[in-house]
Amino acid sequence: FYILITRLTPIKYDGNLKIFHDDGVFWVTFSCIAILIPVVFMGCLRILNILTCGVIGSYSVVLAIDSYWSTSLSYITLNVL
């Protein structure tokens, strides 16, 4: 899909923007994006809390089962992480 877009459109998608060669512009943009992402997610804390508890809880159960039975479940979780 990416190759199709780059061949059919005249826009160059090389990702090497000259404006980001300046350290000041790059780090200000990077810092703003790093601050903006948590601020956006502050609106849905309950959903994120439920999802985080589900993911961490499921990995904890899998690793607890693996500690009693010698299975390859821990390797599967490590590969996912």
User: Could you tell me where the beta strands, DSSP code E, fall in the chain?
Assistant: none
Residue 37 lies in a domain: no
Q: What is the largest CA-CA distance in the chain?
A: 59
Residue 73 lies in a domain: yes
Residue 42 lies in a domain: no
Q: Over 70: is that where the pLDDT of 11 sits?
A: no
At residue 28, the pLDDT reads 92
At residue 27, the pLDDT reads 92
At residue 61, the pLDDT reads 86
Question: Which tens digits make up the pLDDT trace of 23-72?
Answer: 888 899 999 999 998 888 888 889 999 999 998 998 888 888 888 887 77
Residue 21 lies in a domain: no
Q: Whole-structure pTM over 0.85, yes or no? A: no
What is the per-residue DSSP string for 32-68? HHHHHHHHHHGGGHHHHHHHHHHHHHHHHHHHHHHHH
Q: Domain of 66?
A: 53-80
Tally the domains of the chain.
1
Residue 76 lies in a domain: yes
